[in-house]
């Protein structure tokens, strides 16, 4: 479940990977190379909802075709 700090919502690496069907290794690589900014709280990285949305709006940054397709299908699928 996402953490909320004031008006900001944060997600863990595990939450994002589960939702978008991607490997934690891939997401940690994005964090390490600076493709996606993340904050470290203790031993865990957290990514803000705003940062995640910005990142997802540019799927060309993503390294695998399958991940791009997963993200694009989520963007075009109506959310309840």
pLDDT in tens, 30-66: 899 888 999 998 899 999 998 888 887 776 665 555 5
Residue 71 has pLDDT above 70, yes or no: no
Q: How far apart are CA 53 and CA 40, in angstroms?
A: 19
Q: What is the pTM of this model?
A: 0.67
Domain boundaries, the chain: 3-76
Confidence band of 24 (pLDDT split at 50, 70, 90): very high
Query: Is 39 in a helix, a strand, or coil?
Result: strand
Q: How far apart are CA 11 and CA 17, in angstroms?
A: 10
Q: Where are the alpha helices (DSSP H) in 1-48?
A: 13-20, 24-33
Q: Which residue in the block uniquely carries the two structure tokens 């940054």?
A: 61
CATH 3.30.590 fits 3-76, yes or no: no
């Amino acid at each position: 479940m996402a953490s909320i700090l004031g008006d900001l919502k944060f997600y863990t690496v595990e939450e994002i990977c589960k939702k978008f069907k991607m490997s934690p290794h891939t997401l940690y690589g994005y964090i390490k190379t600076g493709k996606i900014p993340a904050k470290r709280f203790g031993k865990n990285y957290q990514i803000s909802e705003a940062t995640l949305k910005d990142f997802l709006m540019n799927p060309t940054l993503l390294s695998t075709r399958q991940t791009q397709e997963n993200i694009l299908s989520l963007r075009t699928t109506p959310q309840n």
